[in-house]
Amino acid sequence: MELDEAKKQIKELREELEYYANKYYDEDAPEITDYEYDMMMNKLKALEKEFPELITSDSLTQKVGGHVNEGFKQVEHVVPLQSLQDVFSFEELQEFDERIKKQAIEENEELNYVVETKIDGLSVALEYIDGIFVRGATRGNGLIGEDITDNLRTIKSIPKVLNEKVNIIVRGEVFIGKKEFDKMNEEQEILDKPLFANARNAAAGSLRQLDSKITASRPLDIYIFNVQKFEQNKFNSHYEQLEYLVKLGFNVNPIRIYCKNYEEAQKAIEKIGEDRESLSFGIDGAVIKVDSLSFREKLGTTYKVPRWAIAYKYPPEAKETLLKDVIWQVGRTGVITPMAILEPVKVAGSTISKTTLHNEDFIKEKGLKIGDTVVIQKQGDVIPEVISVITEKRTGKETKVEVPTICPVCGAQATREEGEAAIRCNGIECPAQLLRGIEHFVSKECMDIDGLGYKIVEALIQKGLIKNIADIYNLTLEDIASLKKNGKKFASNLIESIEKSKEQDLFNVINALGIRQVGIKAAKVLAKKYKTMYNLSSATLESLCEASDVGEITARNIYEFFRQEQTIDMINRLKEAGVNMKLNEEEGIDNRFEGKTFVLTGSLTKYTRNEASDLIEKFGGKTSSSVSKKTSYVLAGEDAGSKLTKAQELGITILNEEEFENMTK
């Protein structure tokens, strides 16, 4: 390869790796697999080895990937938190052993290894003075990290006081267990929030929260795997140090295998690979370390990695199998997802018989047909995925994958909106969406039923007491009291809250129905325009399109929603239960802000944003998030920024809080 071509390739690889490293380390939102990233890094290393004159200090081959978040105080590590050199074959691992063995002979050192799991989490340093936890920090760039002491204090498995009064800095990996991660994503799905990409990024994102209360709500755990600095050190063995850390009260990596030679180390790595599926936590490889601490000192380190340790990355395993069928499953938010039914095949230690096909576009992109021979791959602990179709093995008997137009669970219309990849069920009574639907229905901006939380709803569904949303109004005192020991008082309060909810205004009821793209703001517009649920449900598409703040797509969603049999049935049942279906208009309506648009900016002291918005809407006005020529007023609080500047440029009337208060008296 010519030098110019090498320069070009190295530049492109560095830019791509920087981008993906930023996504992984700093944004906790990876866009490619670890394996793909590692392969790109290996390609860069190979090019830099061939053209050493092109190596620069800012290359990711020469530094740790992470950066320091500006939201946290900086911590300079007393001992650098280095990364590890990765290898992908036992041949490379043997080369490492041969190099170490050669120096051991020269230095007259006994060579033993310790093999440990490489936990897939976020690396941190914990500092103790006189046995008391005083500070914790992320790895950051290896030299400087982020002070996340308050967040680390929320992790129960981190001891706040050790069993001995020692001065010590240890390194560990914060992670989220497999079951705990699955539960987190189930809750995200119920709340209609984005799913976490993987357990590692969920853990990293949780630790980097500026509000430690959020961190405390996440199921974080930690395993300690190294002593960084120990003033009272009395050991020369890494393995013995780890055993001592257990006595101090640390939660030490449970898989630590003492090996007398390389052969034992390789067997240990192979065994970890075989057992990895049964582990309660995710791993992305195994680490082999020299046990002798004095020999480690002689071996030394490079700027980026120690010479006495190396990480073995398990290669992704791909297998051929038959795509027997494609079924469509309905999630708790109504998204209908295709699932591949496969001829069972063992991949990376587990038997795979089904896997997600993501969406309709994925099926088209891969050109999948039922009866195809497909290649599936499972790298590490991620979900197995269909990576390709072997078209050469087609017999002509393969059939097209049919995309559903009705929900496979409830039979309601299934639609895919423009610009979206997902197909959704529009049925309000769909059993698959019941829990999520009730969560929304009872929330504060909807029917405001206090006490009907997630766990109570789940218990009511499990006992068969709620089969659709309207069943809430059929619940009895005895039904609810049966859920809790001595639950009569709770049941009485909840029944009272359910009864009170029947008086909610029309806009609350409209919002509670969960119509796609209709929130509280649009619900208020619709309630004001149509006055009754009957008028709204009978409205033409043209009429809905004319409603202010209701676009064509939203109007179509509303129109089609009210023509579903399930919607008609639901509204009739709610009406029979006594739920209000009319706008609670007060006498002498004051529409002083009718036709006026307000933009709120800066920090308000007399009102919250919601309180100010409610006042504006009460008097017939509306709020917007951006300043334009159509803006009537800008209500500016302290530290108002670019919106205030733009309003001044456009000559829009700017109000302070006192002026706004006078306008609303």
Task: Choose the catalytic residue: 8, 11, 102, 118.
Answer: 118
Q: What is the CA radius of gyration of the chain?
A: 30
pLDDT band for position 664 (50/70/90)? confident
Q: What is the pLDDT of residues 461-482, one digit of tens each?
A: 888 999 989 999 999 999 898 8
Beta bridge partners of 117: 286
**Interaxial angle between packed helices 262-275 and 90-106, expressed in degrees from 0 to 180 and rounded to the nearest 10:** 150
Q: Which SS3 state, helix, strand or coil, does residue 616 take?
A: helix
Q: Candidates 3.40.50.970, 1.10.150.20, 1.20.59.10, 1.10.340.30; correct CATH number of 427-585?
A: 1.10.150.20
Asked if pLDDT for residue 548 goes beyond 80, the answer is: no
Give the mean pLDDT of 535-553: 87
Q: Would you state the pLDDT for residue 483?
A: 84
CB 360 within 8 Å of CB 304: no
How many angstroms separate the CA atoms of 13 and 562, rounded?
53
Residue 586 — pLDDT band, cuts 50, 70, 90?
low
Q: Bridge-partner residues for 124, per DSSP?
A: 138, 172
**Interatomic CA distance for residues 571 and 468, integer angstroms:** 12
Q: Do 38 and 87 contact (CB within 8 A), yes or no? A: no
The alpha carbon of residue 316 and the mean position of all alpha carbons in its chain are separated, in whole angstroms, by 23
Sheet with 633-636, edge to edge strand ranges: 622-624, 597-601, 633-636, 653-655
**Alpha carbons 572 and 16: distance in angstroms, whole number:** 57
User: Which residues, 6+ apart, have CB-to-CB distance to 627 below 8 Å?
Assistant: 599, 634, 643, 646, 647, 650, 652
Higher local confidence (pLDDT), 118 or 30: 118
Over the stretch 469-522, which tens digit does the pLDDT of each residue have? 999 999 999 989 888 877 788 899 999 999 999 999 999 999 999 888 888 888
Q: Parse the chain into domains and list their residue ranges.
A: 3-54, 74-312, 317-400, 427-585, 597-663
Tokens for 437, please give them: 């639907």
Is 477 in contact with 495 (CB distance < 8 Å)? Answer: yes
Cα distance between residue 543 and residue 559, in whole Å: 10
In this structure, whether the domain defined by 74-312 belongs to CATH 3.40.640.10 is answered with no
Two structure tokens written together for 455: 């766990």
The correct answer on CATH 3.40.50.10190 for the domain covering 597-663 is yes
Per-residue pLDDT tens over the stretch 305-340: 999 999 999 877 788 999 999 999 887 678 899 999
Query: How far apart, in whole angstroms, are the C-alpha atoms of residue 469 and residue 417?
Result: 25
How high is the pLDDT of residue 352? 84
Per-residue pLDDT at 401: 95
User: Which of the two residues, 598 and 69, has the higher pLDDT score?
Assistant: 598
What is 317-400's CATH number? 2.40.50.140
Kindly report the backbone phi and psi dihedral angles of residue 65, in degrees, each rounded to the nearest multiple of 5, phi listed first: -70, -35
Question: How much of the chain, in percent, has pLDDT values that exceed 90?
Answer: 48
| Residue 64: predicted pLDDT | 53
Phi, psi dihedrals of residue 145, rounded to the nearest 5°: -125, -170
- Cα separation of 509 and 501, whole Å? 9
Q: Where are the beta strands (DSSP E) in 130-263?
A: 132-138, 144-146, 168-175, 221-230, 256-259
- Please report which helix (H) or strand (E) contains residue 49, including its range: helix 34-50
pLDDT at 348: 64
- Rounded distance, CA 521 to CA 262, Å? 67
User: Is 118 known to be catalytic?
Assistant: yes
Average pLDDT of 386-407?
Answer: 93
Higher-scoring residue by pLDDT: 651, 5: 651
Over residues 632-659, the mean pLDDT reads 89
Taking the CA atoms of 621, 625, 629 and 634 in sequence, report the sign of the dihedral they define.
positive
* The one-letter amino acid at 470: A
Which range is most confident: 63-72, 173-182, 601-610?
Answer: 173-182
Work out the average pLDDT over 61-84: 74
For 591-606, write each residue's pLDDT tens digit. 888 889 999 988 888 8
Give the pLDDT score at 613.
Answer: 85
Please name the CATH architecture into which domain 3-54 falls. Orthogonal Bundle (1.10)
Calpha distance 315→337 (Å, rounded): 29
Give the lowest-confidence range in 70-74, 286-290, 305-309, 337-341. Answer: 70-74
Taking only the tens place, the pLDDT of each residue in 614-638 is 888 878 888 888 888 889 999 998 8
Q: Which residue has the higher pLDDT, 236 or 31?
A: 236
Instruction: Give residue 610's pLDDT band: very low, low, confident or very high (50, 70, 90).
Output: confident
Give the pairing of strands 423-425 and 385-389.
unpaired
Contacts of 543 (CB under 8 A, 6+ apart): none
What does the block give as tokens for 238?
A: 């890494």
Greatest Cα pair distance, the chain, in angstroms, is 97
| pLDDT at position 155 | 94
pTM score: 0.55
| Beta strands 317-330; 132-138: pairing state | unpaired
How far apart, in whole angstroms, are the C-alpha atoms of residue 600 and residue 545?
Answer: 27
Q: Provide the CB-side half-sphere exposure for 632 (13 A, CA).
A: 12
String of DSSP letters for 86-117: EE-SHHHHHHHHHHHHHHHHHTT----EEEEE
Contact 550, 578 (CB under 8 A): no
pLDDT band at 568 (very low <50, low <70, confident <90, very high): very high
**Tens of pLDDT, residues 74-133:** 899 999 999 999 998 999 999 999 999 999 999 999 999 999 999 989 999 999 999 999
More confident position, 512 or 347: 512
pLDDT for 110 equals 92
In whole numbers, what is the pLDDT of the chain averaged over residues?
Answer: 87
**Is pLDDT above 70 for 27?**
no
